[in-house]
Amino acid sequence: MNHTVSKNNSIVITGAAGFIGSCLVSFLNSTGFENLILVDEFERNDKFNNLRNKKYTYKIDRDLFFEWLHQNRPNIDFVFHLGARTDTTEFDYAVHQRLNVEYSQDIWNYCVLNNIPIVYASSAATYGSGALGYNDDHDIVKKLEPLNPYGISKNEFDKWVLHQHSVPPFWAGLKFFNVYGPNEYHKGRMASVVFHAFNQVKQKGYVNLFKSHRPDYADGKQLRDFVYVKDVLNICYWLMENQPGSALYNLGAGKARSFYDLALATFAAMGIPPDIRFIDMPEDIRDKYQYFTEANMVKLKAAGYTNTFYSLEEGIDDYVKNYLITGNYY
């Protein structure tokens, strides 16, 4: 039985000041949901504009959230747990263990106790080198070997979830592939390649892409599954409204595209002739670099999601023209 989500009761969004979280706040506002409980570290000034003019009921610091829940006992209809330490260059695993595993377990247990459905952010980083493919089958989760502490922490939580006997009325773990789009201005090195490409063209007139350090891939022809954030929002909303089978679900566009194609699309959206150059890949990521990712999207489609996805060109065109050029937020 689906738990219908009422506009009177609350929806919790963790990571609400971040890239995907703040876009989700805006999306939910646009569909009439304003009774939102936002959880994040709100003292970061560079995230402030992500939530400007958005409607919500409460903003609660991540470390005070459970104490606040205990005191206020709000009626919560749904949880989107998008908050995490997402820096793939953070190699202190204790940070990931606390924020990505233990905090997520606390959220999960609260949802179980209070019978609240949950969608949480997993990651395509769980797939590691991709040696086992990119299929969101539950039976391969325990065999996956992520390449960095972030990916390991996300996979540890997925493994833990799959071992739970007590579960929320509905749950979905979304393995996000390369998400790009508005509201990632604050992300620095971790922002999408589209964001960096746009800024390089604006400042220098050309784009630097990494050379390939493998003979089977030409320079710039490394492949990724790039998914536009507006598709991510549609899927999150659809999962909340429909609550199909509880599972881990891949969330990509389902089509691998090259960084070269991405650069060409960025130039096209900016109306500037392409000038693409190649630089050596930094030593610190070279041995952990994925040359190919592509989400198998069969499971989500089989669950009933039928919307078409933005193509790479369509997504970049919208992102560049409506957000990056103007500095607008979603």
Which residues are catalytic, by number?
Answer: 150, 187
CA dihedral for 92, 98, 104, 108, sign (positive or negative): positive
Beta-bridge partners for 174: 121, 249
Cβ atoms of residues 112 and 118 within 8 Å: no
| 29-37 contact pairs (CB < 8 A, 24+) | 29/54, 29/55, 31/237, 32/7, 33/5, 33/7, 34/7, 35/7, 35/8, 35/9, 35/10, 35/11, 36/10, 36/11, 36/12, 37/10, 37/11, 37/12, 37/13, 37/74, 37/76
Q: How far is CA 137 from the centre of its chain?
A: 19
Cα–Cα distance, 233 to 310 (Å, whole number): 12
Q: How many CB atoms sit inside 10 A of residue 110's CB?
A: 19
Beta-bridge partners for 40: 61
Q: Which amino acid is at 261?
A: D
Tokens 């695993």 locate to 93
Q: What is the dihedral of CA 180, 185, 188, 194, to 10 degrees?
A: 30
Report strand pairing: 10-14 vs 36-40.
Answer: parallel
Tokens 């071992």 locate to 163
Cβ atoms of residues 223 and 294 within 8 Å: yes
If 0-12 CB within 10 Å is exposed, 13-18 middle and 19+ buried, where does residue 66 land? Answer: middle
Tokens read off for 107? 């959220």
